[in-house]
Amino acid sequence: MSCSSTTRRLADYLDDNLPFFQRLRFQLHLDTCNHCRLELGKARFSRGPEALRAETVFVPPGLRAWFIIHFWVDLTFALPLFLAPVWFLGLLGWTQIDTSAARLVAAALFGIGIQSRLVRDEGVDSFRAMLNLKIIWSGAATLGLVMSQLEGAPLLGWALVAIFGAFNLLWVCYRVLLGLRSLAPAK
């Protein structure tokens, strides 16, 4: 995507009127182009203080960073789990592998990870919705992994319990923070 086509579509991007793949291309261009990121900031600013507050003020920068980290963690596990589940899970100590179930988990990791990347510049409402999904997913995954460990899964499974549990705690803390901030009066 070129700078000229990106700047022409800024309003569509801010109004969430871009189709999925155009939005993805748009965001990939923003990742590599300082000029277009600056133009995006100007476009947000031109919408006035209320628009800026709704889009950015209530989302802590640390949460935006964690969403990017989560994107990379999810992709790191999703790719080998999807492309070579027997090999990858074998490395982790599993001997009985259901490739369909492994690929379904990979699909969930792709979906949540990629969506984490796509919403990184969105407003507080998008982050709340995504945090709700992340809390449900990581909580259910942690519980399921603990149950598997108690049934004799490989010892390395406890590391996955720790990873999913840590992410769950992180998402719950940020969700509580966003909930409290939504109750604070606008300044």
φ/ψ of residue 53, rounded to 5: -60, -45
> What gap in Å lies between CA 46 and CA 35, rounded to an integer?
17
52 within some domain: no
Are residues 96 and 37 part of one domain? no
Q: What pLDDT, on a 0 to 100 scale, did the predictor assign at position 131?
A: 94
111 within some domain: yes
53 within some domain: no
Are residues 9 and 42 part of one domain? yes
Q: What pLDDT, on a 0 to 100 scale, did the predictor assign at position 171?
A: 94
Residue 15 has pLDDT above 80, yes or no: no
Residue range 9-23: mean pLDDT, rounded: 79
**Tens of pLDDT along 111-164?**
999 999 998 878 888 898 999 999 999 999 999 999 999 999 999 999 999 999
Average pLDDT of the residues of the chain: 85
Are residues 66 and 35 part of one domain? no
**Tens of pLDDT along 72-81?**
999 999 999 9
13 within some domain: yes
Is the entire prediction scored with pTM above 0.75? no
Are residues 123 and 64 part of one domain? yes
Q: Which residue has the higher pLDDT, 50 or 26?
A: 26
Q: Which of 130, 139, 137, 78 minimizes the C-alpha distance to 106?
A: 78
Say how many C-beta atoms besides its own lie within 10 A of residue 124's C-beta: 19
96 within some domain: yes
Are residues 100 and 23 part of one domain? no
Q: Which residue has the higher pLDDT, 46 or 52?
A: 46
Are residues 102 and 32 part of one domain? no
**Range of the structural domain that residue 17 is part of:** 1-47
Are residues 96 and 6 part of one domain? no
Domain tally, the chain: 2
> What gap in Å lies between CA 85 and CA 77, rounded to an integer?
10
Residue range 13-20: mean pLDDT, rounded: 77
Are residues 39 and 86 part of one domain? no
> What gap in Å lies between CA 12 and CA 101, rounded to an integer?
38
Those residues with Cβ within 8 angstroms of residue 11's Cβ, 6 or more apart along the chain or in another chain: 17, 43
